[in-house]
Each structure stands twice: as structure tokens, then as C-alpha cells.
A and B are shown apart, each in its own frame.
Chain A
């Protein structure tokens, strides 16, 4: 009898906790929406910011974020794809494979600010790119390397063996196996990785705030050595320095745009992941 009462008590506790957690997190989403919505007037996305961010929109900030996102993924993708395929298709030493996997995990867990520090020194100082969008993109490209690698590896290793074997018995060479079977069959997995990578870059602030971005005075970068304004830096500066409510309202608006972007990318990634699972079950 007593055991049953205890069980009921524990169950009641953990169910309450679950409900509270879900409620808390949904509240956070709701707050973001409620606080950000008032700032979103019709031109918020298509106007430049004025009065040090007190008025106007976030056109160039959004553009800067997009520039960094896209160049970072374009730079990172070939390296991620190549290194994963080298590890799965060419490398036969198990020890080396384990070591490289370990390296991916460590890189994945490394605090993003460290990418900023080291990346600035290497790309910004040694390669002389300065505080610029190029430096930022390179830093972010290294940062999302493990994200892309993990997704691509998942897709390549999850490829049903029958496809590989069917290709093998037809006498396909290793390269043909890669570009005729593995790449087409893993297409959705690779796209999933790309979108997860984009989402991760879109949310990153620490690695780029002092290496690639600026708050005001610049619109679109004119050369490779120009910094860009981004949504992330915009929010940071407005939220930290602002004394007036207009600036803070603008920060919330920019936050809502940023989170909308991240959520959209994540949802697209999920859609492709579902597609991948469906294809592999054929």
C-alpha cells in the first residue's frame, strides 16, 4: 500500500515538473512574440535603422546575417563532405577513424568564443583580413564544421547496405560509388545538415561580435575587408547600451526576426530529415 502511495507521489511530482517545464518554455516563446510584435511595422524588414537603432528597420542587419550564414556554409560544406567521405570511404585504419571522430566531438563542444579568439588571430591578423565579414565567415565555417560532419556522417552511415552492394557487384569503382550512389542517396541528409548549420550560424553572436561585425556606420560591405552589421550584434548593443524604451523595443523586434529565421531553418531541416528517413525505408 505504502509503495503504491510513493509511486503516486513521485508520478505526480514528475508530471507536474514536465507540465511546468513545457509551460515555462512556451511562455518564453510567447514573450518573445508579444515583445517583438509591436516593433514589426510593415517596413521593419525593408528599412535601414535610424537614430542609432531607435527607429527604422533592420534591413542591413538581416542582410549581414544572411551574408555571414551563406558564405560560412559554402566554405564549410566541401570540407565537411570531403572529410567525412574520406573517413568513411577511403580510410581503413580504425584507430585513425576513432581519433578523427573524437576530434569532431571536441570541436563540437568547444565554446564558440574560442573560435572567435583564435580565428581572429589567424584569419584577421596573420592572413590580414582584419575585422571583416570574410574573417567572420571563415570563423563560422570552422565552427559549424562538426555540425555538418555529424549530419553528413549520419546520412552516409545510414545508407542501406544494399545500395552499396548493388553498386559494388556491378563493378563500380570507388569514385563512381561515391558520386553515383552515395551522394545522390544521401542528398536529403546533406541538405538537412546544411540547414542545421545555417540555423546554428544564424544564432551565433560571441564568435563574430568583435571579429566581423559593427553596430553602425556601414550598410553592405563594399570589399572583403569591411565588417557588416548583423541582427545579433544589433540586439546586443541595443539591449546593453539602450536607456530609452524605443531602442529596447527595436531590440525585441530584431530578436523576433532572428528567432523566426532560426526556427524556419530548423523546420526546413526537419522536413528534409523526414524525407531522408522515408527514402531509406523504400
Chain B
């Protein structure tokens, strides 16, 4: 599904990722862990070419999604971004109604007619367990929702465009425990249809949510450890120690 080949990224002279080759299979959840500033977010953002607008940002190597190089000059970035949805650390809803927020991305897709909007909205709001909370107030401003609800709304807005890949950049770090577990839970149910990359600082979360883990460490030469499947029952202890360190560091 997603294939990085000898991938590197740099902001001007400062290299954040170097020589990364790895593969993310379809319908898997991969947790990405590691200290701040090690290129986790960059890895996600290059997948939907969100870093194009940063001056002096450049990449080397190749990234393939479904066998296609996404950094070809003729790549349709709009189609790419609809195929690859991204959720940010802080939920961002537009100061419009809840309904308008959910269908925000759908409106520009010609093949979905206006009549289908309500059904589409209901479907994705159910998927993120938000339907029961907001079904009577779809016309109210989305900014009146709680942080956790806003994040789920952002997720619903992304799902409405029907992406194949979901990128989640610490989606729960600004949320309360209840919303956190809601998002963790619904991610499991999304696995059957989406390929998910999830950045997190908490190794418990990585362990409970993901099938596999990709870790960014401090080693200068090769900052990456290979992707290793986590066995839910036993995990290599050195990794565990590193994870603890990362966790205490981030707190």
C-alpha cells in the first residue's frame, strides 16, 4: 500500500529523516513513536504533500502509494489528498454549523449529489459515535462542541471524503480520557476499510491500538529501527525501555 524507498527529508540544511525504507500494508494500524523533532509528523505530512508549502523543504528517495510515485510532477495532489486523510493534534472545525463541517470536503466532489449529503453526514457521524450527541443540533455552530467532540467531528469530516489512508498526528493528545478511548475504539472499527498511521507519545496507546510500531530514535546515522510487529503478549525489552524514556521525556 504505502512504500518508502530510501526516503529522506530536510528543512534547508537540517535533515529530519534519512535513508528510510519501509512498507505499510493495507488495512493495518501502525503506531509511530519517538521523541519530538525526529520527523514523525514530517513522515505523515509528506504522504499528503502538505509540506509542499514550506520553503526550503525537500525530499529525497521515493514514496509509492498503491505502486504510484506521489512526487511525480504530474501527480494530482487534490486526488491524492482525498485518498489520504489527515487528522491533526488540535481539532480544527470551521466556524460553521456541524452539518456544514461534516460535508465540507464532500461539497467539491462532483459525483456526490446534494441529496446525498444528509445520508453521508449521518453515516460518518455514526461511524465516529457522534450521531447520538449531535443529531438534534446539526445546525448549531461546531465551535460549541467540546474538544473531544470537535476531534471526532474532524474525523467524520475526513471520513466523509472516503479516504483509503488515515494519518493521525497525536489525535488524542489534547483530549480528555473519555474522548481518547472513544477515538481509540473507533479506530479499531475503521481498520477494515482504511490503512492507518498513528503518531503517539504514549506507548500504552501504541500497544493497545496498533498492530505494528515504527520507532524514531536518537541514533544519528540511522535514526530508524525497522518496522517490527508487536506481539501483544511479549515485546522486546530494549524497545520497552526506550519507550519509557520517550514517555518521561515527553511529560
Contacts and interface: CB of A to CB of B under 8 A. Distances in A.
B203 to A, nearest CB: 27
A20 B11 CA distance: 54
A185 B48 CA distance: 24
Given A165-B50, A166-B88, A282-B143, A171 B94 contact: no
Nearest to B55: A94
Interface residues of B, number: 24
Contact of B81 (A168, A180, A181, A279): A168
Given A163-B92, A163-B94, A169 B143 contact: no
Contacts of A8: none
A162 B88 contact: yes
B9 interface: no
A167 B81 CA distance: 10
Interface in B88-104: 88, 90, 92, 94-95, 104
Contacts of A181: 94
A162 B90 contact: yes
Interface string A223-262: 0000000000000000000000000000000000000000
A173 interface: yes
A170 interface: yes
Given A163-B94, A170-B82, A172-B78, 11 more contacts: A162-B90, A165-B50, A166-B88, A166-B94, A169-B81, A170-B81, A170-B161, A171-B80, A172-B105, A173-B108, A180-B104
B176 to A, nearest CB: 20
B154 interface: yes
A177 to B, nearest CB: 10
Interface in B138-166: 143, 154, 157-158, 161
A171 B81 contact: yes
Interface in A61-110: none
A39 B92 CA distance: 56
A21 interface: no
B79 interface: yes
Contact of B108 (A163, A176, A185): A176
Contact of A170 (B79, B88, B90, B104): B104
B173 to A, nearest CB: 15
B196 interface: no
A180 B95 CA distance: 12
A interface, by DSSP: helix, strand, loop or mixed?
helix
A171 B108 contact: yes
B8 interface: no
Interface of A: 162-163, 165-173, 176, 180-181, 185, 279, 282
B82 A282 contact: no
Interface in B115-157: 143, 154, 157
Contacts of B108: 171-173, 176, 180
A162 B104 CA distance: 15
Contacts of B92: 162-163, 165-166
Contacts of A180: 104, 107-108
Nearest to B48: A169
Contacts of A176: 108
Contacts of B161: 170-171
B214 interface: no
A280 to B, nearest CB: 10
A44 B74 CA distance: 67
A195 to B, nearest CB: 22
Contacts of B88: 162, 165-166
